Structure 1
Amino acid sequence: MLGFLIRRLPFWVREPLLIVIGSVLGIRILYLAVQEHERLAAGLGVVFLVFTAVRVHSVVQALRARRNTDPAASADGVAVDAAASLRSEAGPHTDPAVSADGLAVDAAAGLRSEAGPQPRPQYGSGPRPVTATARKEPNAWAQGVAAVAVFGAIAAALFLLPRVMPSDDSASRPASCSSGEHEELPRAYQAEPGAVTGQELCEALNRPDLAQLLGTPGETATAASGSDNTAPLSGGRVAQPEAEVRFDTYTVKISATYDELSVAQYVKLKETVGEKDIKTVQVLGRPGAFSSDHTLKLTIDLSGDGSAAPVDQGPLARTLSVALDRTDRGGSYDITVWSESGALPDDAVLRDIAEKILPTIPERSA
């Protein structure tokens, strides 16, 4: 449809339009190809520029042909004016038609005698006689105005199209938590009435200001998920829901463990095994503790030689464990932050996140 409309345009509108479009697209594609080091895009840009060069050549040829036809048209006009002046000087005659024709013939004969002998025109050579029914040349000013109007219409359409059409901004939206309402909870959640679900933890963690709390206010969440798991080595008897939100810089994970291990007992256990990077703290009036540990990295070996271990040590992570209640009678919330580069935020950042998130999580029943 667009090609049909372009072909219907006059020559002096269509060709400048194609030249402008081809040159702009060609230069833009070549610029992007140089920036991205894409050979295919560079070839496409060259094709647009060659197409534009062909169009420019056709316009130049048309302009030259138009200049060559202008002297012939002016000479014909001079001859007609000379014949008209001879008729006016001859005065009245008894046979006006014959007298005027005779004067015109004499004038033409005089012009031929002064010019000398002329070669006899051959068949098919020489310019074609101009007839009264010849098509009139279009006005150059009208064509220029039409070209400007077409360019203005295209520019207005490109400017207004993003505002009229609905924009697809899904790429810039932060990730949302996937709903797990249709999944059946494990039996451990039925045995613990106050246990929250992974969906509830994800909604509490995936806050609009989470990136700002992490110190990266310009980032948006790229992934958010929650799961209703059970604690390892518990035989499926201890509920342990968790949620995770990923950013470009950091990944934040929160889990709730509904067991009988208190935070105070957890700190003593860490100190017994020689853990030195542990620090106790109070969060919202509840006992808490900071600790560090490496994450686990899963490796899939496609070579088949068994040289790569399936589980490897990942980057270092920092965890803040907070008791489920003020009495610390067992169980905890664990907020963990890590990054692929190994960089970690300050402990104050984890504490701020805990103080913002924990009040939004449903309280454990007594």
Structure 2
Amino acid sequence: MQPDLGCTALGLFRFSTRRSRVRLPRRTTGANSWVGDTGTMAEQQIADAAEGMGQPEKAPNEWGQALLALVVVGGVAALVLSGTFQQKADDDPEPAECHTSDKARPSKLVSGMQLCTALNRADLPTLLGTPTEYAMTANGNESVGDWADGTKTVTPQAEIQLSTYTVKFSTSEDDIPVAEMAGLLGGSAEKRTVGGHPAVLYSNRTIALKFNLGGGKVDTGPGGIARSLVVARDAKDGGGFYEVSIWRQDDVPPDDLALFRVAEAVLPTVPGWTAG
């Protein structure tokens, strides 16, 4: 019997020489749906990843594992393959530090590394309700999206993975008011306030992908839930927003209180944030 190595959610998959799975968001009508179809872009990236993994490795170890990032910015951007991760060894007591790809393109207002630095707090595990855990991987980068209408966007983003949770943090300069996003993010989206700024809380369903490293098609199946907060950059909701998303490595729904604790602690430390 071939070993089943299990799943992570949304942003990261783990694979051996046999088979692996990855969780990705379903196609959504998120905050940026008006500039392009994120699902089409995601499908192309998945196909590219599957093709690349179909190449055999030299002298494979049956239980050897590697990490590859499939990064998605909640409901507001597209799937990209980028970023450099630092994996914490079992005998290393230090949490991961933020790293970035050499090809990262800093944005005008804030970079992915700045977002990663703000997110990679010493108390992040406590904010998530898992105080004994640590950051196993941490990265910050800028994803570049080419949309169907010819628009090109640069989205700074950061992602940190712990044993239980993964947290993604991104920002956008889109001028759509956050107050108008609730209608774009599904019927369960809720208007909230974070630090005196308008916000929207919503869920995103993930997809589990199974890659057969020996070749063949990529199988898909239902995944878990990610919870996200889209928060206006300023209290007047004059355009631009931040998005904080969390999901678990298992199928258990994330804790909304943990999401709000992270957002309320991290957002005031980011360049460009104004007090409400």
Q: Provide the TM-score with structure 1 as the length reference.
A: 0.46
- Structure 2 partner of 1:288: 199
1:228 matched to 2:142? The reply is: yes
1:251 aligns with 2:166: yes
Q: Is the 8 A contact 1:321 1:333 kept in 2?
A: yes
Q: Specify which of 250, 268, 271 is matched with residue 359 of structure 1.
A: 268
Q: Which structure is richer in relative contact order (CA contacts within 8 A, separation 6 or more)?
A: 2
Q: Which residue of 2 aligns with 1:302?
A: 213
The answer to whether the 8 A contact 1:230-1:236 is kept is no
Amino acid at match of 1:253: K
Contact 1:337 1:344 in 2 (8 A): no
Partner of 1:261: 176
Amino acid paired to 1:304: G
Task: Please report how far the alpha carbon of residue 317 of structure 1 lies from its aligned counterpart in structure 2 after TM superposition.
Answer: 0.5
* Distance across 2 between alignment mates of 1:282 and 1:364: 14
Question: Which residue in 2 is equivalent to 1:241?
Answer: 156
Match of 2:58 in 1: none
Following superposition, the deviation at residue 347 of structure 1 comes to: 1.8
Q: CA deviation at 1:364?
A: 6.4
Higher fraction of helix: 1
Name stretches of at least 5 consecutive residues in structure 1 with no aligned partner. 1-167
Greater share of strand: 2
Aligned ranges 1:15-26 → 2 under 5 Å: none
Shift in CA distance, 175/265, structure 1 to aligned 2, threshold 3 Å: same
- Separation (CA, whole Å) in 2 of partners of 1:218 and 1:343: 19
8 A Cα contact 2:141 2:157, kept in partner: yes
Matching residue of 2:93? 172
Paired residue type of 1:356: A
Offset at residue 322 of structure 1 (A): 0.4
The answer on 1:278 being equivalent to 2:199 is: no
Query: Structure 1 residues 266 and 357, CA, compared in 2 at 3 Å: closer, same or farther?
Result: same
The answer (yes or no) to whether the contact 2:267–2:273 under 8 Å persists in 1 is: no
Matching of residue 198 in structure 1 with residue 107 in structure 2: no
SS in 1 for 2:117: helix
> Using the alignment, how far apart are the partners of 2:90 and 2:184 within structure 1?
49
The CA distance in 1 between the partners of 2:228 and 2:146, in whole Å, is: 18
Task: Report the CA distance shift for 1:263/1:300 in structure 2 as closer, same or farther (over 3 A).
Answer: same
Paired residue for 2:105?
A: 185
Shift of residue 238, structure 1, vs aligned partner: 2.2
Kept in 1: contact 2:146–2:152 (CA 8 A): no
CA RMSD of aligned residues (A): 2.6
Letter in 2 for 1:177: C
Once the two structures are superposed, the pairs formed by residues 63-102 of structure 1 within 5 Å of their partners are none
CA distances 1:259-285 after superposition (whole Å, capped 9, x unpaired): 122212211223xxxx33211111111
CA contact (8 A) 1:239 1:258 kept: no
**8 A contact 2:100–2:141 mirrored in 1:** no
**Alpha-carbon distance change, 296 to 225 in structure 1, aligned in 2, over 3 angstroms:** farther
Which residue number in structure 2 is paired with residue 331 of structure 1?
Answer: 240
Query: Could you tell me how far 1:324 is from its partner in structure 2?
Result: 1.3
CA distance change for structure 1 residues 268 and 172 in 2, over 3 Å: closer, same or farther?
A: same
8 A Cα contact 1:231 1:257, kept in partner: no
SS of equivalent to 1:348: helix
Measure, in 2, the Cα distance between the counterparts of 1:355 and 1:264: 18
The 2-side partners of 1:176 and 1:352 are apart by 21
Are the equivalent residues in 1 in contact too, given 2:224–2:253 (CA < 8 A)? no
Query: How far 1:305 sits from its partner (Å)?
Result: 3.9
Cα shift at 1:169: 9.4
TM-score when normalising by structure 2:
0.60
The structure with more radius of gyration: 1
Candidates 219, 228, 232, aligned match of 1:319: 228
Deviation at 1:314, TM superposition (A): 3.1
Structure 2: segments with no counterpart, 5+ residues: 1-88
Q: Secondary structure, in 3 states, of the residue corresponding to 1:238?
A: strand
Q: Hey, what's the Cα distance between the residues in 1 that align with 2:104 and 2:258?
A: 35
